[in-house]
Amino acid sequence: MSTARRAAVNLLLPVVYVLLFIPAGLLTRLFRDPLHRKPDRSATSYWTDTGPTT
């Protein structure tokens, strides 16, 4: 990457983060945490079935 382009990217990154990622993060977490960061002690299993029939 050229220096000019790198500088442009460095300026843009915080803008993108604030305008896109922070709102998207807050919004998704209103419904559910995409990373399931807290265990669910009441669940019986965490497996996701990937087989063809299930």
The whole-angstrom separation of Cα 53 and Cα 26 is 35
- Min dist. Cβ of residue 24 to another protein (A): 5
- Min dist. Cβ of residue 35 to another protein (A): 4
Per CB under 8 A, residues contacting another protein are 1, 6, 9-10, 13-14, 17, 21-22, 24-26, 28-29, 33-41, 43-52
- Min dist. Cβ of residue 5 to another protein (A): 10
CB 1 within 8 A of CB 9: yes
DSSP state string for 33-45: -TT--S--TT-S-
